[in-house]
Amino acid sequence: MVGIPGRLKGISGGEMKRLAFACEVLTDPPLLFCDEPTSGLDSFMAQNVVGVMKALAEKGKTIVATIHQPSSELYAMFDRLLLMAEGRTAYLGDVDGAFDFFNRHGYACPPNFNPADFFIHTLAIVPGDEENCRKRVFELCDAFETSEDGLAIKDLANRGGVEEGSSKLQSIDDEVVMKTGVYKAGWFAQLNAVVWRSFVSISREPLILKVRLFQTVVFCQELPIFLREHFNGMYRVDVYFLSKM
């Protein structure tokens, strides 16, 4: 819990964004979905966050992220790119291949132009020119759907998204889960962290010590935090319970 709800914010919006990202990374998840993790951050901090994501990906983690107005430096750090428009896929593949695809269909990115901005401008629906914009979008989406990459993706989807050797990989993943368990930290490490957090919360609000009879009220306030952190594999239910005794 950051700050005092309704009274003190504690940290800035950008710091809150980085804190939320760090909390998810703590549990070392094999798959990480990041919804605009760089929004509200300056260019340096945004590059730092994407750098952490790339380092995790290089360790074998699967990182899926949506990025809002990335700089050219951030764009170059990604391995694969998915562009969508009007609910359809306009491109899915290697980052460098996007230039070739758009260039083949008459939409070349100008020199010294941010690639992300170019793709957004090309696929955007501009008010007052919706008909021409949609015509361009549908043209690109149709072109990708009939391309070699598009047909390969469609074939994979029709087969249920199962590739050769996936069963073997699944069995390996199951073994890893059985060995490591759901929680990354030990029982005492979990208890120590949650008790420490409870102590910090109480020290900020000394009156809580006098109203322990109304523990249910306090629990309701922390319930969203508990549910999120428990299901993210940070600590067990009994650890949270003991920290509140």
Give domain limits for the chain.
13-180, 187-243
CA–CA separation, 147 vs 178, rounded Å? Answer: 41
Check residues 180 and 95 and name the one with the higher pLDDT: 95
Q: Helix (H, G, I), strand (E, B), or coil: what is residue 160?
A: coil
Q: For residue 81, what are the CA distances in angstroms to 78, 89, 211, 222, 241? A: 7, 11, 53, 38, 44
pLDDT band per the 50, 70, 90 thresholds, residue 51? very high
- Point out which residues pair with 31 in neighbouring strands: 62
pLDDT over 80 (residue 138)? yes
Quick count: other Cβ atoms within 10 Å of Cβ 51? 12
Q: Which of 68-72, 122-126, 142-146, 189-193 has the lowest mean pLDDT?
A: 189-193
Position 26 confidence tier, pLDDT thresholds 50, 70, 90: confident
- For tokens 């501009």, the residue is 126
* Nearest one of 11, 51, 23 to 230, comparing CA atoms: 23
Say if residue 168's pLDDT is above 50.
Answer: no
**What is the predicted pLDDT for the residue at 167?**
44
Is-contact 2 14, C-beta < 8 A? no
Task: State yes or no: pLDDT of 122 exceeds 90.
Answer: yes
Query: Over 90: is that where the pLDDT of 41 sits?
Result: no
Q: What pLDDT, on the 0 to 100 scale, is given for residue 164? A: 47
Residue 199: its H or E element: helix 187-204
pLDDT of residue 6: 61
Return all residues near 76 (Cβ < 8 A) that are at least 6 apart.
Answer: 95
Looking at domain 13-180, which CATH architecture does it have?
A: 3-Layer(aba) Sandwich (3.40)
Predicted local distance difference test score (pLDDT) of residue 135: 94
The arithmetic mean of pLDDT across residues 135-141, rounded, is 95
What's the pTM? Answer: 0.63
Q: Please provide the size of the chain in residues.
A: 245
198-232 confidence digits (pLDDT tens)? 777 767 666 666 665 555 555 666 777 878 777 77
With a cut of 80, say whether residue 245 has pLDDT above it: no
Who has greater pLDDT, 27 or 35?
Answer: 35
Half-sphere exposure at residue 181, Cβ-oriented, CA atoms within 13 angstroms: 9
